[in-house]
């Protein structure tokens, strides 16, 4: 009897050991891309001592702020199992709208900025309605909005950038509070607010539910269509805010301003651990992914790596992160 008991204990120990080993491998796989980019950051610090300085860290945060807003919106969309390819063009459309309304009228600067954000909100709302109520796949719906928003941005400026913005427009991005520029504070506030929303409110739980299993969520009483519409609208509004910040930094607006920004946003979300299948991911993961991407871009700039190679690296990171995520998912399902 004692021998049988000992054999059972030994078998249980082996099973537990195998489980622990599998869990460790899955954890390593899910964080592999983070470890790779952190290793690259260490290399940058050794290769260029100015990389690991306080002024450069501040530069990274300032550069990350506009992308952070886009990445936050993209996180909500991806958590529902969708994707928003239109955010780059919405950035340009919002920036061009705000610039066109404020040129020659510094007194209505804030009104112009507000309307620019509303334009982004409306673009996102259209995406959400088409996805939720017409059942058009998110890829197709947002790809169509990408073309529409880009065309409208070029139409507003008649194919050219809008310059000559009032000096007051620059204060949106240059205003400092406690030594931090306003965009950085907006970024921090955005992450804190959405982190609370996603973990402490029913709205956040419903987003996860829709992304995990839409049918089950609807059976449980979740209005999936309303959730989908909301996340795309939020994504559009945040892209509009990003457009205002970016145009304020350079005191001008161009119809190609947000070109390719959706790539960095998706990279930040995926590298941060979110699944493109929906239902898994965190706001803090997106923050980590964003900072890693911006750190990588900053280091490549310091090393004078051409921008086109930076794009190649970003694309490679996205594909690698998705591949690792799929591998980890398959292992965890075994």
Q: Give Dmax over CA atoms of the chain in angstroms.
A: 92
Question: What's the gap between Cα 105 and its chain centre?
Answer: 33
Question: CB of 61 within 8 A of CB of 68?
Answer: no
Per-state percent for the chain, helix, strand, coil, to nearest 5: 80, 0, 20
pLDDT in tens, the chain (334 residues): 455 555 554 454 555 555 566 666 666 666 666 677 678 778 888 888 888 788 888 888 888 888 899 999 999 999 999 999 999 999 999 999 999 998 877 778 889 999 999 999 999 999 999 999 999 999 999 999 999 999 999 999 888 899 888 888 888 888 888 778 888 999 999 999 999 999 999 999 999 999 999 999 999 999 999 999 999 999 999 999 999 999 988 888 999 888 888 888 888 888 887 888 888 888 988 988 888 888 888 888 888 888 888 778 777 877 777 777 677 667 666 6
> Measured between alpha carbons, how far is 91 from 296 in angstroms, rounded to an integer?
23
> Measured between alpha carbons, how far is 191 from 46 in angstroms, rounded to an integer?
31
- Give pLDDT, residue 13: 52
- Give pLDDT, residue 10: 47
| 184-241 tens-digit pLDDT | 999 999 999 999 999 999 999 999 999 999 999 999 999 999 999 999 999 999 999 9
Question: CB of 82 within 8 A of CB of 228?
Answer: yes
> Measured between alpha carbons, how far is 63 from 264 in angstroms, rounded to an integer?
12
- Give pLDDT, residue 167: 82
| 6-16 tens-digit pLDDT | 555 445 455 55
DSSP 278: S
For the chain, the first-to-last Cα distance in angstroms comes to 33
Domains of the chain: 57-303+314-321 (1.10.3470)
């Amino acid at each position: 009897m004692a021998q049988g008991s000992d054999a059972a204990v030994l078998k249980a120990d082996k099973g537990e050991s195998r489980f622990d080993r599998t869990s460790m491998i899955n954890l390593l796989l899910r964080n592999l891309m983070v470890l790779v980019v952190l290793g690259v950051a260490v290399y940058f610090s050794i290769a260029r001592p100015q990389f690991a300085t306080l002024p450069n860290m501040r530069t990274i945060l300032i550069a990350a702020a506009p992308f952070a807003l886009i990445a936050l919106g993209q996180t909500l969309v991806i958590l529902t199992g969708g994707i928003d390819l239109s955010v780059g063009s919405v950035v340009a459309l919002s920036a061009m709208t705000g610039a066109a309304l404020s040129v020659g009228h510094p007194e209505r600067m804030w009104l112009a900025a507000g309307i620019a954000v509303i334009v982004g909100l409306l673009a996102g709302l259209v995406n959400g309605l088409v996805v939720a109520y017409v059942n058009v796949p998110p890829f197709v719906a947002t790809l169509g909005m990408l073309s529409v928003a880009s065309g409208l941005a070029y139409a507003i400026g008649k194919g050219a950038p809008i310059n000559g913005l009032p000096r007051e427009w620059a204060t949106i991005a240059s205003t400092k509070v406690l030594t931090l520029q306003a965009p950085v504070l907006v970024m921090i506030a955005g992450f804190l607010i959405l982190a609370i929303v996603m973990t402490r409110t029913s709205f956040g739980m419903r987003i996860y539910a829709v992304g995990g299993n839409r049918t089950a969520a609807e059976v449980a009483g979740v209005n999936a269509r309303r959730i989908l519409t909301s996340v795309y609208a939020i994504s559009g509004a945040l892209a509009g805010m990003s457009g205002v910040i970016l145009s304020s930094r350079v005191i001008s607006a161009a119809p190609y301003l947000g070109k390719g920004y959706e790539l960095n946003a998706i990279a930040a979300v995926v590298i941060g651990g979110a699944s493109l299948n929906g239902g898994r991911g965190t706001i803090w993961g997106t923050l980590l992914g964003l900072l890693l991407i911006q750190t990588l871009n900053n280091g490549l700039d310091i090393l004078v790596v051409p921008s086109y190679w930076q794009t190649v690296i970003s694309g490679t990171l996205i594909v690698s992160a998705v591949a690792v995520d799929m591998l980890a998912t398959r292992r965890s399902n075994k």
